[in-house]
Amino acid sequence: MDAPVKLEVLATDGAARCGRLLTPHGAVPTPAFMPVGTQAAVKAMAPGELWDIGYRMVLANAYHLAVRPGPALIRDLGGIAAFMGWRGAVLTDSGGFQAMSLAALNRIREEGIRFRSHLDGAPMLLTPESALDIQQMLGCDIMMALDECTPYPVQPADARRSLELTARWAERSLRARTSHSQALFGIVQGSVYADLRAASARQITSLGFDGFATGGLSVGEPKALMLEMAALSASFLPADKPRYLMGVGTPEDLLAAIAMGYDMFDCVLPTRNARNGCAFTSAGRISIKHSRHAADSRPLDERCGCRTCASYSRSYLRHLFRAGEILAARALTEHNLYFYASLLRRAQAAIASGTYGQLCRSLASGVAQELDETE
């Protein structure tokens, strides 16, 4: 049986690779960044605007959509892409991350995760089987197996128990799968312990998933350790299937992870930072809240081709932000997502031309710089 998604690798440069992820909702150029649309909406952005910027796949969350409005309603309205008016592909996270982020509202057991709804406290049992059932009803292109996202810090014994639970849940997810028109990815865990990462990767990649993800990183561990574990995990992932690094998303981290051979990424950073007045630019990150921008007629980034930079000055954006205007969130979000899309396009072109290392060196001073703009 043909896989519901297929990765076509068109060029490599070291471990970095570019190509196309073929999905039921069209081709997604890789490496690809997925804007996070937890509740079937990327905050402050319309689906058509995301498409115009160049995105072809977004991420939504099965737990949140199960709580509201419910997967059956979305199924009956044609599936998640039709529901949100999106022309591209959709990947849904299973809800494993919420077991950590909403830890006060849940209990993790062998059977699954017992949640109390963050909306009204109603009980909800999320199991590997029900997580698959929800995602199959949502009609997404890529489903994620339910896992336990190990928090940091964690003791080795607890990290081992967690990854072994994730492995058992992965097997249950595969047995529960009934839709073969949707891809199903497994997730590697193991926290920051090299031996556990290797053990988890061997377990998960031995199973019949359509792609593989590295999870449980960027949850508070030191940056160097995160990159080390991401690289180690990538070294175990099959070359013929998509590789997805979950939740890691500063521009400099994306460049490093692409060099490791990852194809897919997601992170709330560009959208959340925008809503808090932070913009990514070719000269580093800037805080539009800073008083130095009060009378600055320049755009956020003179090298940027986005609508925000073509239309608004830093002075106006600062005014909008300080006034609490919704346009501030929209304009800064559009700029940051344009910046990310442009960065990924440059990475794709550099891999195709065999100059990826040069691109990373040329961008290093800009993407990694955190300007000191505290008031």
- The helix (H) or strand (E) run that includes residue 279 is strand 278-281
3-class DSSP state of 83: helix
Residue 78: count of CB within 10 angstroms of its CB: 10
Selecting among 13, 93, 210, 263, the annotated active-site residue is 93
DSSP alpha helices (H): ranges in 94-127?
96-101
Note whether 80 and 74 are within 8 A (CB). yes
Distance CA 340, CA 352 (A): 19
Selecting among 133, 263, 266, 301, the annotated active-site residue is 266
Residues near 246 by Cβ (< 8 Å), separated by ≥ 6?
A: 93, 97, 187, 213, 214, 215, 217, 266
DSSP for residue 22: E
CA distances in angstroms from 80 to 32, 38, 276, listed in the order given: 20, 12, 28
The structure tokens 């959709």 sit at 90
Catalytic status, residue 93: yes
- Backbone CA torsion sign across 126, 35, 363, 234: positive
3-class DSSP state of 138: helix
Catalytic status, residue 76: no
DSSP secondary structure of 194-226: HHHHHHHHHHHHTS--SEEEE-S-SSSS-HHHH
Note whether 177 and 127 are within 8 A (CB). no
Residues serving a catalytic function are 93, 266
